[in-house]
Amino acid sequence: MFVDKVKIKIKAGNGGDGAVAFHREKFVASGGPDGGDGGKGGDIVFKVDDNLSTLADFKYKRKYKAENGNNGQGGRRNGRKGEDLIIYVPRGTIIRECESGVILSDMSSDEPFIAAKGGRGGWGNPHFATPTRQTPRFAKPGIPGEEWEVVLELKLLADVGLLGFPNVGKSSFISVVSQAKPIIADYHFTTITPVLGVVSLGEGTSFVIADIPGLIEGASDGIGLGHEFLRHVERCRMLIHIVDVAGSEGRDPIEDFEKINLELERFDSELAKRPQIVVGNKIDLATDEQLTAFREYIESKGYEYYEMCAPISEGTQPVINAAAKMLATLPPIKQYESEEIPMETLLKKANTGFTITVEDDVYMVEAQWLIKILCKTDLDDYESLQYFQRVLQSSGIIDALREKGIQEGDTVSIYDFEFDFVN
């Protein structure tokens, strides 16, 4: 089963809690604090696996969670780090944050991507010892791991995309110019999944060509199969548009050509501007008048035009040579830039509940929703810091601190972030 778009939930491991402990030794009346730190939670990491060609595995498992870090222990023993969870995807998979739709990563290279970071372990009580606080009886809890709902979307990495109505000969073409073996039969939608083939021209020169399931009029509105797979031509550097020049199924080749390009325009105007070679197939069934009329029309539009009979390889080599020549002048396969999740999205999704505890004049704020915002805050940037302060104010945390009796200069602790309170 070919699956090229799924939605999953990912959850990194929580950090382990820091320990509250004190050194115990014979003949030592009062040992100092010696609670260990909690271990970091495991990350959610995506990696490319070239043996995968579909996202089908994700249809049966939709939730992924990394291991939590272990809690700290006495004797300054730190908790063990949680194991990372590796998720393998096909090359060309786009990872999007579900709520905002921003692209988190384009998995087109071998570089792994940390999609959700494990929470840092909490500090043990030795971190809070000061000359005036020699026996701190508190520690910090571990920070929860990041949690996201993401959309995985496979966009094939191909240099050339084949376009055309069903049964115009795309599968026959790719089968004779590459090692790909698509199912070929004389009925519509024989190809129901994209097929990749490598075209070799000798001397180490090759390119990848993709056979996309046939488009029909209205595909951009979800009619037929084409809409499901148009995303797979988005990366293609150029297009080969194959037309049944004989009109063997009662359609007009010129109308076919225009309808397919209209669907491209409606789906993605940038895609419609992609360089395109037009190929008239089934010349063995066409009359001289049909061949001449279609050739003149296409050339009047400024396209390179070729004719072939794909099943017997007649005319296929000039098409391949022309594609290779055009590719040599075009930029590399498109890759998508990663984007930052908007702060507004993080705040919108937040449950603004919080708790405040006071230990030895330290006001500790716990609010899981604040973690994502804090991670995105640049504490060295004035505007970013001002935004974070506004979040604290609008959520009621500042007012709650005042109700707890906080005074100017007292310490506020929000996980790993500490600051002196200023009225």
Segment holding 393, helix H or strand E: helix 382-394
Tokens, residue 334: 């498109």
One-letter amino acid for residue 134 of the chain: Q
Q: What is the pLDDT of residue 155?
A: 85
* Residue 183 pLDDT: 40
Judging by DSSP bridges, how do beta strands 103-107 and 93-97 pair with one another? antiparallel
Q: How far apart are CA 19 and CA 175, in angstroms?
A: 65
Query: Cα dihedral angle (384, 386, 390, 391), rounded to 10 degrees?
Result: 30
Q: Cβ–Cβ contacts within 10 Å for residue 31, how many?
A: 12
Q: Is 213 helix (H, G, I), strand (E, B) or coil?
A: coil
Fold held by 160-327: Rossmann fold (3.40.50)
Give CATH for domain 346-423. 3.30.300.350
Which helix (H) or strand (E) segment is 209 a member of? Answer: strand 205-211
Spatial distance between the Cα atoms of 154 and 59, rounded to a whole number of angstroms: 14
Beta partners for 149? 9
If you compute the radius of gyration of the chain from its CA atoms, what whole number of angstroms results? 30
Residues 1-155: name the CATH superfamily. Answer: GTP1/OBG domain (2.70.210.12)
The H-or-E segment that residue 307 falls in is strand 304-307
Pure H helices in 150-252: 170-177, 226-229
Give 91-139 pLDDT, tens digit per residue: 999 999 998 899 999 999 999 999 999 988 988 988 888 777 778 888 8
Give the whole-angstrom CA distance, residue 257 versus residue 307: 14
Alpha-carbon gap, residue 258 to 306, rounded angstroms? 17
Contact 39, 16 (CB under 8 A): yes
The confidence score (pLDDT) of residue 48 equals 96
pLDDT at 186: 44
385-389-394 Cα angle (round to 5): 145
Nearest to 274 by CA among 228, 218, 330, 229: 330
Q: What is the pLDDT of residue 182?
A: 41
What are 134's two structure tokens? 């020699």
pLDDT tens by residue, the chain, 423 residues = 457 789 999 999 999 999 999 887 766 556 789 999 999 999 999 999 988 888 888 988 999 999 999 999 998 999 999 999 999 999 999 999 998 899 999 999 999 999 999 988 988 988 888 777 778 888 888 888 888 999 999 888 889 988 888 888 888 898 888 875 544 334 444 444 677 788 888 777 789 888 876 555 444 455 444 455 667 778 889 999 999 999 988 889 999 999 888 888 887 788 888 999 999 999 999 999 999 999 999 999 999 999 999 889 899 999 999 999 999 999 988 888 888 877 677 666 555 678 888 887 788 888 877 777 777 777 778 887 888 888 888 888 889 999 988 888 888 888 767 788 887
Helix (H, G, I), strand (E, B) or coil at 58: helix
DSSP 240: E
pLDDT at 191: 42
Strand order, beta sheet including 63-65:
63-65, 5-11, 147-154, 93-97, 103-107
Instruction: Give the residue extent of every domain in the chain.
Output: 1-155, 160-327, 346-423
State residue 267's pLDDT score.
Answer: 78
